Structure 1
Amino acid sequence: MTTSTTDLPTGAGTFAFLVHPRARIADDLGRVWAPLGSGPERLYDLALRRLPLPPVRMAGVEVAGQRVGDVVLVPFGAKHLLEQPGEGRRRVAAAVDRAAGLGADVVGLGALTATVTAGGVSLRDRTDVGVTNGNAFTASTVDLQARLLLGAAVDQRADRHVAVVGATGSVGGAVAALLARDAAVDRLTLVARSRPRLEALVTRLDAICGGRVDTRATDDLAEVGGADLVILLTASTSAIIGPEHLAAGAVVLDATQPRNTSPTLLEQRPDVTVVDGGVVEIPSLRLLGGNIGLPDGRAYACFAETALLALSGHRGHFSLGVPTLEQVDRTRELAHGLAHLGFGAAPPTSFGRPVDLGTAPRPVLEAGR
């Protein structure tokens, strides 16, 4: 397999990536066709819930000047997917059918299309197309971003405290394991709703790091108040982190879609830095038609994983359910092989705007922390 600085690999395949309306339905429908953006939200909510709307091909995907895939819209909003998971799975399956009909070799599950299918597990019997939830490369990207933040926006010291909210989720567990594997942090606070799953994760991490990382589990969000860096990896439809949850000068890495922070957080807590998580730079990437809320040249890591697999000639399923560390490492190998196309963490932004971590607020370190 040979490439130049602009060529795609020999044997590259094609892919499709599934998306859905996120917080405000009209905003995301407007990305498909601009006039839809001014429609009444209540009507859209009712229509998406009750009408048997088919999946929509909303954009073509171009990398290095060549057509490599499509973006397919699942006509079901974030709240709909969480409140009606059975119907959500049916609509996601229909979107996978659409993607296969478009000729995709690999289909990526964006945002809550992964959550509602148990990370793609409900699609594992399909043999006509490969499926991935994108969580392996998302975990890889968030891990890299977290390490950069620990070095740039958090004072260098002996007690690096990171909280992972949504730690028992598919991405959260992998990110926690990556940080523990080489003791990249000194303390890990794992936050999730299920105590049994949290305790199992603590046991796993202790085995991975040999007890070198002080790992604690909690179902109380208030426990993130002592962390220098808070990583958000939950499946929720609204902001869950408020100004009352964060330590002075804390850094928040929000890798959720729909995102779990609001711009009002920065107004209420100007000492806090919020960084957009899981965003990858692919300079030659262009969407032809609609858009997914990012400028050309940037993609969410789950999208990037789908592209990595297809462009590398992968066939069959990849990451279904919880990704293994071996799968995370494999995506890093694939990204290295396609480094001439980018596939590295994008320069940091906060709610889409560039942020200079060199001048970002730094934590106020108190004695005993």
Structure 2
Amino acid sequence: MSGTGTFAFTVHPRAVLREDMARVWRPLGLVPEAVYDTALRRLPVPPVTMAGVQIGGERVGHVVLVPFGARHLLTAVDEGRRRVSRAVDRAVSLGADVVGLGALTATVTAGGATLRERTDIAVTNGNAFTAAIVEDQVRMLLPHVAARSGRPHIAIVGASGSVGTAVTKLLARDAGDVRLTLIARTAPRVRTLADAVANDVEVEVAHTIDAVRDADLVVLLTASADTLLGPEHLGRGAIVLDATQPRNTAPTLAAARPDVLLIDGGIVTIPSLRLVGGDIGLPDGRSYACFAETAVLALTGHTGHFSVGNPTLEQVDAVRERAASLGHLGFRAADPTSFGRPVALESRTAVLA
């Protein structure tokens, strides 16, 4: 891989601050949650280089922690943007050619749009490859969906968002015999999206999460601070593909609904991937698709910004081609897991019997 670029990927503490801070240094997990909540909001804590990234046995990147929790990023957007900008500065100082925006660091920067004027580093939000991997996972799951009507019903929660829009268009491009329900709070935007794909697939629009009740497959693509997908929302035997970080599924869902299958969404296999000095909540050899997109761009020598704002289908196709050129390293949808544990889809009918 000599002659290719290097990258940095930004992350942040998720729902439980002490758990993710312990990934930086184990003793930090002993600090009370309330202390972190106050300290990270009030103190100008600098970004932390929490891990080095190795792929194919070579050091190719870094993971940079933005010291601001998920709740902070969702409620204090201006401060969140400042902290992400400082993390990008750190990426530049590390010599990275590309920086990827992980989880809510993409959300608070409007998908990287607030960083568009930077010329010292290429920026990507990772949403093009995330959409590609989610589509691959949907098509992998469809043969195992127990369709109530004989025709699979797919609900896309967060359809008007960056990834949701791309996934909707990808599924409509080769729809087959399915129907879609697009769920989003932004009525004009989701209506426009539905109109754009109506000639290719049967589609309807809804604005509350209750609309997933009749869906055979729920694709969860939005992290909301006040609405979690819970056991009361789902029909019997539903499959949920949860591609949110932090998770937007209620903690009680798996235990309360053993008939429901919850699949980890947006996960990519890169067998030689190793993080040195820290981790991002996944085992060696697996990454989130937004991380993988950043790596793909760097390892194939991409220059300039890539996914900023909403990715186009052309960008999805382009990053797929780049990933395919690195096929010897993996960069494909991982085998299905639920909370990190392997799932045997073929045995699912026994659960529903």
Q: Report the TM-score range of the alignment, normalised by the length of the smaller protein.
A: over 0.9
1:20 correspondence with 2:12: yes
Write the letter of the residue equivalent to 2:29: G
Task: State the match for 1:3 in structure 2.
Answer: none
1:350 correspondence with 2:342: no
1:170 correspondence with 2:166: no
1:123 correspondence with 2:115: yes
1:217 Cα deviation from its structure 2 partner: 0.7
Show CA shifts across 1:280-315 (max 9, x none).
Answer: 000000000010000000000000000000000001
Aligned counterparts of 2:272 and 2:243: Cα–Cα separation in 1: 23
1:218 correspondence with 2:206: yes
Sort the Cα spacing of 1:225 and 1:317 in 2 relative to 1 into closer, same or farther, 3 A: same
The answer on whether the counterparts of 2:145 and 2:152 sit within 8 Å (CA) in structure 1 is no
Task: State the match for 1:301 in structure 2.
Answer: 289
Show CA shifts across 1:231-285 (max 9, x none).
Answer: 0000324771111111110000000000112452121111100000000000000
Task: State the match for 1:139 in structure 2.
Answer: 131
Task: State the match for 1:338 in structure 2.
Answer: 326
SS of 1:318 mapped into structure 2: coil
Task: State the match for 1:258 in structure 2.
Answer: 246
SS of 1:231 mapped into structure 2: strand
Task: State the match for 1:267 in structure 2.
Answer: 255
1:75 Cα deviation from its structure 2 partner: 0.4
The answer on whether the counterparts of 2:145 and 2:217 sit within 8 Å (CA) in structure 1 is no
Aligned counterparts of 2:326 and 2:226: Cα–Cα separation in 1: 35
Write the letter of the residue equivalent to 2:342: P
Aligned counterparts of 1:283 and 1:54: Cα–Cα separation in 2: 32
Sort the Cα spacing of 1:73 and 1:361 in 2 relative to 1 into closer, same or farther, 3 A: farther
Show CA shifts across 1:128-177 (max 9, x none).
Answer: 00000000000000000011000234459851110000000100111111
The answer on whether the counterparts of 1:161 and 1:185 sit within 8 Å (CA) in structure 2 is no
Write the letter of the residue equivalent to 1:13: G
The answer on whether the counterparts of 2:148 and 2:216 sit within 8 Å (CA) in structure 1 is no
1:312 correspondence with 2:300: yes
SS of 1:31 mapped into structure 2: coil
Unaligned runs of 5+ in 2: none
Sort the Cα spacing of 1:183 and 1:125 in 2 relative to 1 into closer, same or farther, 3 A: same
Q: TM-score, normalised by structure 1?
A: 0.93
Write the letter of the residue equivalent to 2:329: L
Write the letter of the residue equivalent to 2:194: V
Structure 1 counterpart of 2:37, from 29, 41, 45? 45
Show CA shifts across 1:190-228 (max 9, x none).
Answer: 11111111111111222xxxx241111110211111110
Deviation >6 Å, runs of 4+: 362-365
Aligned counterparts of 1:184 and 1:115: Cα–Cα separation in 2: 32
Write the letter of the residue equivalent to 1:61: V
Structure 2 counterpart of 1:34, from 16, 22, 26? 26
Alignment length (residue pairs): 353
SS of 2:348 mapped into structure 1: coil
Deviating more after overlay: 222-231 vs 239-248: 239-248
Sort the Cα spacing of 1:164 and 1:89 in 2 relative to 1 into closer, same or farther, 3 A: same
1:360 correspondence with 2:352: no
Show CA shifts across 1:21-76 (max 9, x none).
Answer: 00000000000000001210001000000000100000000001100000000000
1:249 correspondence with 2:241: no
Aligned counterparts of 1:291 and 1:238: Cα–Cα separation in 2: 28
Deviating more after overlay: 113-122 vs 213-222: 213-222
SS of 2:54 mapped into structure 1: strand
Q: TM-score, normalised by structure 2?
A: 0.97
Aligned counterparts of 2:253 and 2:148: Cα–Cα separation in 1: 25
The answer on whether the counterparts of 2:173 and 2:200 sit within 8 Å (CA) in structure 1 is no
Task: State the match for 2:104 in structure 1.
Answer: 112
Write the letter of the residue equivalent to 1:287: L
1:360 Cα deviation from its structure 2 partner: 2.1
1:236 correspondence with 2:248: no
SS of 1:323 mapped into structure 2: coil
Task: State the match for 1:5 in structure 2.
Answer: none
